[in-house]
């Protein structure tokens, strides 16, 4: 008999070949987990190659999910459970497992050839080398093929449902509901009934296997986390960022103009906003990052909200133009979706190492407000806030918004009242002090450089986030109420069809009328306090 | 043309080019031209990069942006896309447009963004006090090339034609009438217009265009007319067997043999061949006028056609639907 | 060609392009070619940018540098100038070379730096998973252009010819013999050689060149021969009255009327006209082969000719004299 | 009778129209001051325009000189003496003068027209508005024309020597020797005897005017400063930097390759090195800053010493390539000759505001050693040191060398043992502590970011300069001995014709021979400690 045990949290990693459908499997498990009301956080991990050879380490794709009956903050470091669909998936992930972790492996793919491909001399499922773990070596593929035999698919086609078999098994093991996935499969494969039925059958067979076999003596339950009431959805950082930018622009009554050059992991912002052309969004794929930010700035000069999105290498290239934006006092939002490493770096891996660059990476004193997101959902808020700052601050027009940890993939249950920290919480986060001028949204140009003795980047971005959004209601838990939060935090522009200079410019200068042009001679005069345009210089 | 009109486009800034700089003449021609075209100064924006020539916007009483080195075409692209009501000019130099800004220039041309580019070519870096530029002749001795430069210069118009430009022209600072004529056609063209302007820099490259003025060096192109020039139109241009074009005595070949200029030809090959008549070393010979002027949908028009802006409330409602998504769950 | 030879240029890295990617064929041709040319791998350097194609250097057992996006021609310029003993290759993609790297490309061409550029044109951004590129046809639907792209693509060879390139050629991934022939000529050329390689990306732009293979779409250029192609060489290229070139039935005009290809013509006009035979939309017709191949002093050779290196002691003595200067005073 | 008074220091500013020869006047006064043995520091100030209209404020050119009988550190803030050759020069500089300052003005140019040009309603020399100053209103031009009447020059030509008249007067007033200037004029105008004689006559007339007239009741003497023994010359920061780069490369036995794009105030490094092609120096004027640094890096890859010089906006553009250099572990020296302000900024004005950018302005953790010069002469040392670090540090190949205050113009008596601070000395310079990892020349990649609580930029660069050059002999006062200092601090490369990878690479890797190529797979593997090339990634 299977015991049901209550636990408070678990970390599961699904790993297989790129073609094995691990991302889909993970997504479904996440959705079912969300339905139960657990809190969760996820980390998809794609192969770096577009199409790495099958069965190789380079081709392993994985999806990690951390869920619990309490408020959690990271996708977890060491999986309690690893589902490994082939030897490469086992090898690539084994080092991350703690002693005693559960391994569910599909024996079908542990052939001599596949083992050799990744350098296993002997089959680790059999040679005793996994003694520290609880190994369930199961012929998932074989069982899947058996389960779907009725639908008349070829063997290869039939075996493709093995991920659903694995999902069924895990769904049983962690006591998840099954309706969501069955509905999903019905919808997804509506036009291919054979495939639909095979997938559903495999999913049910996996669930039934857990229930009937003796292999699993314990079954787990994880209670719902005490989440604030509300309607939730999954969201990735880039999507939330895109929606946030749109929300900010909509509240300001301005067209949104994105100038971008494709770069992983920021491209999805370009993709997402490209789909929004009927929302007053123009997207421009420029010839390079410099042109991208230049065009965004030109659009801002014309009265649109100029935005540019990129990753670290692109931000480096944009710096001169960003400093021009500071001088021109035009609104501009720069999104830095961080990747790892210097130079081209590691596009498919994320890291939080651009903060120094975005804070300090310009010549000759051109400070910009910098915001960092705490979670995928927070990317929405941070984007709205960035737009607000860009449009609202009279003398410090542009803002730079690096999204912290979650660019493309990982999703969180997204509710705006959940405040979650990035993975690498500093040991003892210093508090921003009164001397930390940059924690104030007014962000005086010169005083910005007068940072206190502990600039403490991570803590600054976290700590000051609260002080930067003083007007947000403390309880507005459902996404339905998001609009009210926009209206309280985003200062709309007064004119629907904005003049060529931003509104505050018109109100602070004594102009004789719309036909008196002034922008060109205002270039840089104010932020540096100098009396004549710095461009009236040689060189 | 009345002086009253011209003054409309004269700003209150003291003009600070060197005495005798060719930039003055272009500025004056521009200021006279604009009111004539009926373009209002509040609908005029001049975006420039950095260089002597890039100070142009200061002196014109219109909107303008003196930006950073080489990036004016990119900035103008964003502006033109956002604002169909504006006449967007780009003012740039041979260094600004062809050296650091080369990429933005060729991409603006291929996209056919609705901007009018005035490229002041003095074959030198003026503002940084005299280094050679991508249009300087081989062997140019400058501060950065004391032993003479070794790189072949660009022919800006060949480059533009290779970059799919729809409007390509050349004029000279010293010929007010020609300057006005070419700029008028350039601004009338919907799409990207590139006008190269030979401009003398008396301080760092004086007399760079003198050989052109002296001899029969300028070859004016007039659409639909045979390409003849020189005293009594005694010289003309014919096509050689190898596909290039060359200069001959009209008397020797007869006027019928002379090429008739077709600025509207859809294929740019002949315009390209004509652009090769320009000397790449010391300038003794160069065609001027409109090399190419063809219709193609402008980038910004096509972009705007894809974009629509719902009414404010609709916009927020549609956005809310997007934000809410399809797959939600509720916590009670 | 022996397999032993080829293996010399095969590195120990596992090749990680998608199955069916056109890059494999180019790599194999390259690896076979190099030993045949007698170029040693220790004298071979491949500088690449970023993109699928830019992984090329990993797979060749020679020196190589996988650099940053778009900058390979600039890096190669410094290297080529410093090291006359090396065969310097640049491997790049249509995005790498023509989008972010456009400026470096055109400048390397005009300077005629002694490098051989292989431009893998798959008309798409492969590595970033399928956005449109500066060579994608108008209307291209991609992740970044769900409503279709609106910008006219570059014709890379027209652009190169407009940028004063001395060696310009095109070949296709699927034709090993042609690829080998063109690359052999390219590396033999002293100066900058640009070879555009049509390369299929089965994942993001599959079949982009299929229409060429099906029909009589490829127009092979052979120096000194009339430009004919198609079944029984029944089609040919003639010059039109407007200076462009066009395709005709040879039978209709007679073989004598067909253009004879001259890759060595000093004027690039005819090569330019031929480059315009390339479709800019869906590719049904495109010339391949060597469009232009002319001599001009290479930039790096000319640069080196200006530089001399004294013997070590002399060098320090000369430097000390410079440092001491002429106008000194002494404090006792 | 004139009294001679001993004073310890004085600040003089010569100001006139661009065409008035003020820079030459200042240079000569400086040379004569050097000959006396005063310590000194200078600040030339050019108009921003190439040729500003005559008589306008924009056209004023000035040269300031501070000299003393002790060790001074700045060119001074408030001039004790202003020589104003026209109303514009007076107006532009008046606000800098302290009460009681001496003004020597050439009345000849104070015409109604010239006064109107700069907005003077009345003649300030006559309307009493200069009551707070000691004004000497003299017809310098008239006296000059009179003095040179004998040489048959036209009036305009004759009046051009007025700067020498002024110089003669000041030479008398501050008891400078006259031989140097007379010799100089003889040399300079050797081929134009008329002009030569006129200039010398004007100079002598000015001196004699001081001596004979009653106008000046006091004459000053400033004793020699206690300078270390040695041979001195004048030098500007850019020239010293150029020579230092050449010295470093020469000691290393490597060709020097400069990739640069013109930009004020850095262009002179390009100009200076362009003249040195017979010293094994290749200079490449690139199409832009990105190509400039790219080509330098390519040259380094080929075994040369790659250097790139620029100003702030150019550094911003180079950042991505600099981070590539860090990953490639190739030597590279980047010179940032600072200008003022963000965006294009103010090219002809200097400012020290790029330190944050050079320290932090790269994405994804790509630290570089940063050196800051203390004086024009120190630019030489700093350049040698930058070359040494670039070539010597095994795992942190490149170095970024911003020259601090003195780009093109200001000159100091240059002796390598004089340590002088930049103008803006911080109020209480913090000391670098043991925790300041970056003060050690090994500059470990990760530890660099572990800066102590007070990064204190100015103090770091100053304080650590000493610790970074432990091997320099404490007393090596003459320029003749500079070579010995190079040999002790610059590690020469072992091979005359360097292989394509830097030498240390060859010694630390087990290579089977010269034909085994390895660079491409070493890309970035070591600095980040990752096992495969980060470029093997999508995006
Ligand atoms: C990023 C950057 N690099 C370099 C410079 C220096 N710079 C200013 S103008 C210029 C070139 C000027 O030449 P050109 O474009 O021909 O204009 P001209 O002065 O001749 O009219 C250069 C190199 C700069 N301002 N910014
Ligand atoms: C500075 C910078 N911007 C953007 C990118 C992202 N990026 C990498 S490769 C690439 C384009 C690839 O297209 P292409 O050059 O055509 O090569 P392909 O992959 O098609 O061979 C882009 C945009 C990057 N790595 N660095
Ligand atoms: S330097 Fe030359 S281009 Fe510049 S303003 Fe003076 S004359 Fe004109
Ligand atoms: S994405 Fe396309 S170009 Fe890149 S490796 Fe795959 S098939 Fe080749
Ligand atoms: Mg110029
Ligand atoms: Mg491509």
The 10s digit of each residue's pLDDT in A362-381 is: 998 888 889 988 888 889 98
Pocket of ligand 4 (CB under 6 A): A 50-51; C 17-18, 21, 23, 52, 122, 126, 201-204
Beta strands C245-249 and C235-239 are antiparallel
* CA nearest to A502, candidates A330, A377, A247: A330
Q: CB D342 to CB A349 under 8 A? A: no
Do the Cβ atoms of B305 and A282 come closer than 8 Å?
no
Q: CB D288 to CB B19 under 8 A? A: no
Q: How far is Cα A202 from Cα A184, in angstroms, rounded to an integer?
A: 14
Q: How far is Cα D170 from Cα D186, in angstroms, rounded to an integer?
A: 20
Mean pLDDT in chain B? 95
* Atom number in ligand 1 closest to CA B127: 19
| Helical packing angle, C72-82 and C299-306, nearest 10° | 40
Spans in chain A with pLDDT lower than 50: 394-400, 402-538
| CB contacts, 8 Å: D288 with chain B | 70, 99-100
User: What secondary structure letter does DSSP report for C50?
Assistant: S
Structure tokens that stand for B243 in this block: 């596909």
What order do you get walking across the sheet with B87-93 strand by strand?
A: B63-66, B44-48, B87-93, B116-121, B193-198, B167-172, B286-293, B218-221
* CA nearest to D486, candidates D421, D419, D438, D416: D416
Taking only residues 471 to 530 of chain A, the set having a beta carbon closer than 8 angstroms to any beta carbon of chain B reads: 479-480, 482-483, 496, 500, 514-515, 517, 519-521, 523
Q: CB D343 to CB A323 under 8 A? A: yes
Q: How far is Cα C15 from Cα C33, in angstroms, rounded to an integer?
A: 18
Q: CB C100 to CB B100 under 8 A? A: no
Each residue's pLDDT tens digit, B117-148: 999 999 999 999 999 999 999 999 999 999 99
B74, B87, B144, B192: which to substitute to probe chain A, counting the most A Cβ within 10 Å? B74
Q: Which residue of C has its CA nearest to A267?
A: C128
Q: CB C16 to CB A58 under 8 A? A: yes
Give the pLDDT score at C7.
87
* 3-class SS of residue A455: coil
Q: Which residue of D has its CA nearest to A454?
A: D453
Do the Cβ atoms of B283 and B124 come closer than 8 Å?
no
Tell me if B203 CB under 6 Å of ligand 3.
Answer: yes
D152-181 residues labelled b (16+ CB within 10 A) or e (exposed): ebeeeebbbbbbbbbbbbbbbbbebebebb
Give the pLDDT score at D419.
26
Span from the CA of A504 to the centroid of ligand 5 (angstroms): 37
Give the pLDDT score at C189.
97
What is the average per-residue pLDDT within B263-274?
98
Percentage of residues in chain C having pLDDT higher than 90: 88
What is the average per-residue pLDDT within B163-173?
98
Tell me if B21 CB under 6 Å of ligand 3.
Answer: yes
The phi and psi torsions of A209 (rounded to 5 degrees) equal -60, -45
Q: Which range is most confident: A471-475, B316-320, C58-62, D38-42?
A: C58-62
Q: How far is Cα C201 from Cα C205, in angstroms, rounded to an integer?
A: 5
Tell me if D262 CB under 6 Å of ligand 1.
Answer: yes
Give the pLDDT score at A483.
19
Number of H helices and E strands in chain D, helices first, is 18, 15
Each residue's pLDDT tens digit, B59-86: 999 999 999 999 999 999 999 999 999 9
User: What secondary structure letter does DSSP report for D363?
Assistant: S
Q: Is A270 on the interface with C (CB under 8 A)?
A: yes
Q: Which residue has the higher pLDDT, A65 or B5?
A: A65
A259, A261, A285: which to substitute to probe chain C, counting the most C Cβ within 10 Å? A285
- Give ipTM to 2 decimals: 0.87
Alpha-carbon dihedral of residues D162, D168, D169, D173, nearest 10 degrees? 160
Give the pLDDT score at A215.
82
Q: How near does any CA of chain D get to the CA of A359, in Å?
A: 8
Partners of B77 in the beta sheet?
none
Position B249 confidence tier, pLDDT thresholds 50, 70, 90: very high
Phi-psi region of D2 (alpha: psi -120 to 50; beta: other; left: phi over 0): beta
- What's the full length of chain A, in residues? 539
- What's the full length of chain D, in residues? 539
Do the Cβ atoms of A22 and A56 come closer than 8 Å?
no
- Chains touching C (at least 3 CB pairs under 8 A) are A, B, D
Q: How near does any CA of chain C get to the CA of B238, in Å?
A: 11
Pocket of ligand 2 (CB under 6 A): A 261-263, 289, 313-314, 344; C 50-53, 69, 93-96, 120, 122, 124-128, 133; D 539
Q: How near does any CA of chain D get to the CA of C60, in Å?
A: 10
Each residue's pLDDT tens digit, C122-180: 999 999 999 999 999 999 999 999 999 999 999 999 999 999 999 999 999 999 999 99
Tell me if B122 CB under 6 Å of ligand 3.
Answer: yes
Q: CB A243 to CB B128 under 8 A? A: no
- For A364, half-sphere exposure in the C-beta direction (CA atoms, 13 angstrom radius) is 33
Tell me if B194 CB under 6 Å of ligand 3.
Answer: no
Phi-psi region of D159 (alpha: psi -120 to 50; beta: other; left: phi over 0): alpha
B174-189 residues labelled b (16+ CB within 10 A) or e (exposed): bbbebbbbbbebbbeb
Tell me if B52 CB under 6 Å of ligand 3.
Answer: yes
- Helix (H) / strand (E) element for D250: namely helix D237-252
Position B51 confidence tier, pLDDT thresholds 50, 70, 90: very high
Spans in chain D with pLDDT lower than 50: 394-400, 402-538
Q: For ligand 3, atom 6, which residue shows the shortest CA distance? A: B18
Give the pLDDT score at D334.
95
Q: CB B103 to CB C102 under 8 A? A: yes
Percentage of residues in chain A having pLDDT higher than 70: 73
Each residue's pLDDT tens digit, A124-175: 999 999 999 999 999 999 999 999 999 989 989 999 999 999 999 999 999 9
């Amino acid at each position: 008999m299977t015991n049901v045990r209550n636990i408070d949290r678990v970390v599961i990693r699904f790993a297989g070949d790129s073609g094995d459908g691990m991302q889909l499997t993970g997504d479904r498990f996440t959705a079912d987990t969300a339905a139960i009301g657990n809190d969760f956080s996820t980390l998809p991990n794609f192969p770096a190659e577009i199409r790495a050879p099958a069965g190789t380490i380079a081709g392993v794709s994985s999806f990690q999910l951390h869920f619990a009956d309490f408020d959690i903050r990271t996708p977890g470091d060491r999986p309690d459970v690893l589902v490994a669909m082939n030897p490469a998936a086992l090898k690539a992930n084994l080092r991350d497992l703690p002693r005693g972790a559960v391994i569910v492996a599909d024996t079908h793919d542990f052939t001599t050839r596949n083992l050799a491909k990744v350098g296993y001399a002997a089959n680790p499922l059999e040679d005793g080398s996994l003694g520290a773990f609880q190994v369930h070596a199961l012929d998932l593929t074989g069982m899947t093929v058996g389960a779907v035999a009725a639908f008349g698919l070829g063997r290869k086609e039939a075996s493709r449902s093995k991920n659903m078999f694995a999902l069924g098994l895990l769904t049983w093991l962690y006591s998840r509901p099954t309706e969501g996935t069955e509905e999903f499969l019905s919808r997804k494969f509506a036009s291919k009934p054979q495939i639909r039925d095979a997938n559903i059958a495999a999913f049910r067979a996996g669930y039934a296997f857990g229930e009937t076999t003796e292999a699993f003596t314990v079954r787990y339950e994880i209670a719902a986390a005490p989440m604030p009431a509300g309607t939730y959805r999954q969201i990735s950082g880039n999507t939330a960022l895109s929606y946030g930018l749109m929300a900010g622009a909509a509240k300001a009554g301005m067209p949104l103009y994105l100038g971008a050059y494709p770069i992983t992991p920021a491209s999805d912002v370009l993709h997402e906003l490209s789909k929004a052309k009927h929302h007053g969004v123009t997207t421009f794929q420029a010839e390079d990052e410099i042109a991208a930010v230049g065009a965004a700035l030109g659009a801002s000069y014309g009265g649109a909200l100029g935005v540019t999105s990129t990753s670290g290498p692109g931000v480096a290239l944009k710096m001169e133009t960003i400093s021009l934006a500071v001088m021109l006092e035009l609104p501009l939002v720069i999104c830095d979706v961080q990747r790892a490493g210097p130079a081209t770096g590691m596009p498919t891996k994320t890291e939080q190492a651009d903060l120094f660059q975005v804070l300090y990476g310009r010549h000759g004193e051109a400070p910009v407000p910098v915001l960092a997101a705490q979670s995928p959902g927070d990317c929405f808020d941070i984007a709205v806030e960035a737009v607000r700052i860009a449009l609202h601050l009279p003398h410090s027009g542009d803002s730079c918004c690096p999204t912290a940890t979650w660019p493309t993939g990982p999703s969180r249950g997204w509710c705006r009242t959940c405040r979650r920290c990035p993975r690498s919480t500093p040991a003892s986060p210093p508090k921003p002090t009164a001397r930390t001028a940059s924690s104030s949204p007014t962000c005086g140009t010169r005083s910005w450089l007068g940072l206190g003795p502990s600039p403490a980047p991570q803590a600054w971005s976290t700590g000051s986030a609260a002080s930067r959004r003083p007007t947000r209601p403390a309880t507005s838990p459902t996404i339905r109420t998001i609009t009210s939060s926009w209206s309280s935090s985003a200062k709309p522009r007064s004119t629907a069809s904005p003049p060529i200079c931003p509104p505050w410019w018109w109100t602070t200068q004594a102009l004789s009328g719309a036909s008196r042009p002034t922008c060109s001679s205002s270039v840089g005069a104010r932020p540096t306090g100098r009396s004549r345009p710095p461009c009236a210089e040689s060189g | 043309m009345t002086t009253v009109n011209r003054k409309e486009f004269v700003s209150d800034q003291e003009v600070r080019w060197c005495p005798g700089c060719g930039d003055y003449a272009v500025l004056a021609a521009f200021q006279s031209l604009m009111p004539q075209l009926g373009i209002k100064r509040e609908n005029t924006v001049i975006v420039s990069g950095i260089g002597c020539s890039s100070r142009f916007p200061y002196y014109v009483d219109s909107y303008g942006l003196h930006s950073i080195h080489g990036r004016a075409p990119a900035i103008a692209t964003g502006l033109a896309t956002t604002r169909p009501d504006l006449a967007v000019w780009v003012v740039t130099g041979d260094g600004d447009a062809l050296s650091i800004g080369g990429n933005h220039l060729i991409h603006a041309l291929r996209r056919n963004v609705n901007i009018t580019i005035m490229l002041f070519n003095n074959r030198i870096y003026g503002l940084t006090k005299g280094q050679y530029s991508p249009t300087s002749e081989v062997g140019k001795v400058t501060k950065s090339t004391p032993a003479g430069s070794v790189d072949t210069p660009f022919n800006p118009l060949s480059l533009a034609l290779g970059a799919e430009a729809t409007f390509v022209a050349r004029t000279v600072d010293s010929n007010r009438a020609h300057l006005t004529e070419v700029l008028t056609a350039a601004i009338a063209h919907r799409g990207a217009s590139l006008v190269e302007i030979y401009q003398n820099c008396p301080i760092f490259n004086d007399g760079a265009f003198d050989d052109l003025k002296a001899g029969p060096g300028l070859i004016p192109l007039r659409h639909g007319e045979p390409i003849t020039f020189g005293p009594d139109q005694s010289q003309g241009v014919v096509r050689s067997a190898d596909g290039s074009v060359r200069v001959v005595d009209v008397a020797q070949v007869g006027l019928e043999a002379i090429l008739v200029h077709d600025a509207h030809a859809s294929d740019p090959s002949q315009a390209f061949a004509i652009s090769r008549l320009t000397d790449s070393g010391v300038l003794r010979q160069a065609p001027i006028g409109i090399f190419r002027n063809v219709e193609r949908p402008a980038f910004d028009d096509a972009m705007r056609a894809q974009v629509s802006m719902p009414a404010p409330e609709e916009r927020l409602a549609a956005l809310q639907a997007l934000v809410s998504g399809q797959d939600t769950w509720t916590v009670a």
